[in-house]
Amino acid sequence: MSKAPLKGVITASITPFADDLSVDVGRLAAHTTRLLDNGCAYVSTFGTTGEGASLSTAEKLASLRALRAAGADMSRQIPAVMTPTLDDAARTLVGIAELGCRAALVLPPFYYGTSEAGIAGWFDALIERTRAATDIDLLLYNIPQLSRIRFTRTLVEALVGKHGARIAGIKDSTGDVDNGVMLSSTFKTLAIFTGDDRVLPTLLANGGAGMIGGMPNVFARDLRALYDTPDNADLLAKQTQRILAVDAGGSLVALKAALAQILGDENYARPLPPLTPLVGEGRTKLMASFAQSGFDVAA
């Protein structure tokens, strides 16, 4: 298994769906190839932007196997594990490792909202249950606004103290620059990523590894440029405007709508229920905002 450095711009990829709401692996393979060609270090499938919480373990593993069969470089994949079910999490983790993926991004169990000791116990059980099958690197997914679980300093210390190098990094999707800086300054052996473009320059200046987020789905080249030149204030201002437009359009459905518009392929716009696609005036406003930010929406 590849142990290439965990750093750079990592896209939390959207998931295209066919008419029957199955994963459209052909379009997903084409999209992930495009992202890597445009400067991304890795692609993270089936996370929040990839609607991973709406897909079964079987669907995700079958799609990853199909990606490999289609020729995808699995060493540049960091799929997400998004389930409160220990058995599903273990099966997903082992499957990800068997496919040769670089690492796994693991969401904590999100239903019961238990104590830090309980969350640590769940990770203990996950690692113990899969120990014989894999030692794949784990990235902790800190998105408390959805999971209701925050990876605090004490919780991360407990996990790193017990599991050492198995805990390779953290994706901090809080959007809180101070939290990202705290994590990078405290856990110097971990790869700390932000989920927010606006935090990226400050995080990099304080030892951070990069970003794992949805915006590179559309703006991969610009975000790679921001990673390479984090003092580019003009580019940061453009990304800030774009984030606000995407958030106003419904986040991941806005990114899917933008891809559909740019690629001339409406299949990219289709989300899984209960999400609904961004169409009409909402999409028009989104694309107009992108154009105002200097992005060629006809590219």
3-state SS, residue 23: strand
Compute the average pLDDT of residues 69-93: 97
- pLDDT value at residue 2: 63
Q: What is the DSSP letter of 76?
A: G
Q: Is 48 a catalytic residue?
A: yes
Given 3, 111, 186, 284, the catalytic residue: 111
CATH class of 8-230: alpha beta
Q: Which residues contact 29 (CB under 8 A, 6 or more apart)?
A: 67, 70, 71, 72
Given 11, 15, 49, 171, the catalytic residue: 171
Residues 154-178 have pLDDT tens digits of 999 999 999 999 999 999 999 999 9
Rg value, the chain, Cα: 18
pLDDT band at 268 (very low <50, low <70, confident <90, very high): very high
Instruction: Report which secondary-structure segment, H or E, holds 172.
Output: strand 167-172
3-state SS, residue 55: coil
Please count the other Cβ atoms lying within 10 Å of the Cβ belonging to residue 290. Answer: 22
Sheet containing strand 80-81, edge to edge, reads 42-44, 8-12, 210-213, 191-194, 167-172, 137-142, 103-106, 80-81
pLDDT band at 40 (very low <50, low <70, confident <90, very high): very high
Q: Is 7 a catalytic residue?
A: no
Q: Is 171 a catalytic residue?
A: yes
Of all residues in the chain, what percent carry a pLDDT higher than 70? 99
State the Cα–Cα distance between residues 25 and 17, nearest whole angstrom: 8
Given 15, 32, 45, 48, the catalytic residue: 48
Q: Is 112 a catalytic residue?
A: no
Please provide the average confidence, as pLDDT, over all residues in the chain.
96
Whether pTM exceeds 0.85? yes
Of all residues in the chain, what percent carry a pLDDT higher than 90? 97
Buried b (16+ CB within 10 A) or exposed e, 9-38: bbbbbbbbbeeeeebbbebbbbbbebbbeb
